[in-house]
Structure formats: C-alpha cells, structure tokens
Structure 1
Amino acid sequence: MSKAAAETPFWKQKPLEALSQAEWESLCDGCGRCCLVKLEDEDTGQIHYTDIACKLFSAETCRCADYGQRRRKVHDCVKLTPAAVRSLKWLPRSCAYRLIAEGRDLAWWHPLVSGSASTVHEAGVSVRGRVALSETEVQLADYPDYIVSWPGQAPRPAKTRGSGAEKPRRRAEPAPE
C-alpha cells in the first residue's frame, strides 16, 4: 500500500459494502437521532422527528442501552446496512452512513475526524439534553404533540481560529427527505 493510501481514511478508500464490521460501527457518531421516534405523514410521505426516544435509548450515553439485543427487544428497530442507508428517507443529513453513501466526507465534529467523542455533542448534533420522554412514557395518540424541528437543522460550523467567537451560529438545514 502506498503512503498516500495509508494516510487516507478508510471511509474515503472504500464503499460502504467493503467496510469491516469495526469500520462500519465506528462510522456511528453517537448522535442518537436514529433512536428518536419518527412519524411519517401518510398523505405526503414527509418524515417528522419527535423528541421521544426508543425505550432502549440511554440519555446519558446517547447510545442504545442494549445494542446487541436491540432488534429482539424493539420489533421495529432498523438494522443499518449499505442498502438500507441508501433507501431510508429518515436518516439525518448529518448521518455518517448517509454522507459516505452519497460520496461526501465526514463533518469536522465526527469522532473519526475530531479524535473526540464529545465534538458530536459540542456541535449540537446529538440528542443529548433534548429528549423529552421515552416511548414507554407516551401514549401513541400523543406522539404528534412531540414533533420537533431541530433534528433537521444543520450542526454548528467549526470554529475558525482567531475569530474570537465563543459559539458559532447555526445554519438552517432542510428537513430530511
């Protein structure tokens, strides 16, 4: 392998289908957005995010509390595969799997780029502090009362050196397709 190839991150070298299990799992940034309950408008197909989390979601870690058994315990938990990533309309635009599938690069706050698991939270990408309730605490008929728009918003841009800005401004992002 050439030195340039060795320095090129794996997600820029391989399609999703060629990733090892460890590489695939490392693409998850730990934002938790996929663990939010989503509603689909039957007439338009539009996806609406709620601030209700899956019953297995851990608000402390922003991860699944029982990842290995999740599909046995949550009947509608979706296993992400390369084919699923390319077809799921509800994956956030910031999702690393979606970005790579679309031929784009990972964002500055992704742990594989930043070297820190905390940047996903610092950039305002994660659901940390934004989950209202677990799905076990809300009646299905009340789900529409918990629709929120923030999961469709863009993360904070990277701070530029010497700008003196304490907090970067947020940019609006179109709602997920």
Structure 2
Amino acid sequence: MGDRAEEQQPFWKTKRLDEMDAREWESLCDGCGLCCLNKLEDWETGEVAFTSVACRLLDGHSCQCSDYEDRWKTVPECIQLDVAGVREIPWLPPTCAYRLVHEGHDLYWWHYLVSGDRETVHQVGISARDRTVSEMEVPVEDYEDYIIEWPVLTGEKTG
C-alpha cells in the first residue's frame, strides 16, 4: 500500500535532484528567466544583487533562451546548472524549483508542474517577462544603475 502512495506523489517529492532523469531535471525549470539576469557581487560581503540586464540570448517576453542548444557558442560563460551548482550557486532565486527541491520544499502553486499552465509564472509576476534590457544595450560599468529588488520579493508566498 505504501508503494502506491509513493507512485501517486510527483517525482520532485520522491526523488533527489541527483536521482532525476534528464527529462525530469529539465522540467523543473519554471521558465522565469531570473537565472539569465546579470548579477553583481560585492567582493567584500559576497552579497549578490540582481540587475534587469539580461543575457543577450534571453527573449525578454518568453523568458526562454533564444539559442538554448548552442548558447555556449555565443555566451561561453553560460552556466549549465547541475546538482553541484544548485548546492553552491548563491544567486539562485528563492523561487527556483531546483533550489526548492534541494532544500526539501515543495514547488509553488504557480509552477507549471503544479498549475498545469506555463503562463502562471508570468501571470503572478514571478518572472522577468517584459522587465529586462539586453546586455547588448548596457555597458558593464552601468550595470549598477539597473539593480532591482523584484527577484528577492518573489520568495514571498503568492498563493
């Protein structure tokens, strides 16, 4: 009987990140686009600030990479998130499904694996949709002028 109850649980509740197959891993991404925003790190404190300056490949409306499969050709410093990265990267948004699962939390109600709708993340204002400027338009020395607060605020319960 316990086996049937476990089968009814969604995979993110029954598997650790390192137990997921490639399809499950990729499906955890909620499509918010926050990981594709440029961040600034204070070298003295280690504090990370998000900016609204997005990677040149981020589609600012869909919040998807415009060249996901070949992104390293254009952006060699793009990070392929893996289990070690989830453990070590300090800038994963508080709403990031990878971070939530790693920390033993459930996904938020607006995550499409829960809501059934990939638009929910955008409708509730969690994503970067239509709030970014391309890094091609902003000199690096001006990134400080684009520091934002909203990714931090998305950690609040929204429903």
Classify the TM-score, shorter chain: over 0.9
Amino acid at match of 2:79: V
Q: For residue 139 of structure 2, what is the aligned residue in structure 1?
A: 139
Amino acid at match of 2:150: W
C-alpha displacement of 1:71: 2.2
Q: In 2, Cα distance between the equivalents of 1:157 and 1:56?
A: 29
Report matched runs for 1:16-35 at 5 Å.
Answer: 16-35=17-36
C-alpha displacement of 1:38: 0.4
Q: For residue 36 of structure 1, what is the aligned residue in structure 2?
A: 37
> Any unmatched runs of 5+ in structure 1?
159-177
Q: In 2, Cα distance between the equivalents of 1:97 and 1:151?
A: 16
Q: For residue 70 of structure 2, what is the aligned residue in structure 1?
A: 69
Q: In 2, Cα distance between the equivalents of 1:111 and 1:117?
A: 5
Summarize deviations over 1:108-157 as a string: whole Å, max 9, x none: 000000000011012211001211x1001111111111111111113562
Summarize deviations over 1:65-108 as a string: whole Å, max 9, x none: 11111123212211100110011000001000000000111000
What is the percent sequence identity of the aligned residues? 50
C-alpha displacement of 1:60: 2.5
Q: In 1, Cα distance between the equivalents of 2:15 and 2:57?
A: 31
Q: For residue 152 of structure 2, what is the aligned residue in structure 1?
A: 152
Amino acid at match of 1:103: G
Q: For residue 101 of structure 1, what is the aligned residue in structure 2?
A: 102
Check the 8 A contact 1:124/1:156 in 2, yes or no: no
Q: For residue 167 of structure 1, what is the aligned residue in structure 2?
A: none
Q: For residue 46 of structure 1, what is the aligned residue in structure 2?
A: 47
Q: For residue 110 of structure 1, what is the aligned residue in structure 2?
A: 111
Q: For residue 170 of structure 1, what is the aligned residue in structure 2?
A: none
Q: In 2, Cα distance between the equivalents of 1:108 and 1:20?
A: 23
Amino acid at match of 1:89: P
Deviation >4 Å, runs of 4+: none
Say whether residues 1:86 and 2:96 are aligned partners. Answer: no
By relative contact order (CA 8 Å, sep 6+), the higher-ranking structure is: 2
Q: For residue 162 of structure 1, what is the aligned residue in structure 2?
A: none
Per mean C-alpha deviation after superposition, the further-off stretch among 84-93 and 2-11 is 2-11
What SS does the corresponding residue of 1:2 show, helix, strand or coil?
A: helix
Check the 8 A contact 1:123/1:156 in 2, yes or no: no
TM-score (norm 1): 0.85
> Any unmatched runs of 5+ in structure 2?
none
Amino acid at match of 1:85: V
- RMSD (CA atoms): 1.3
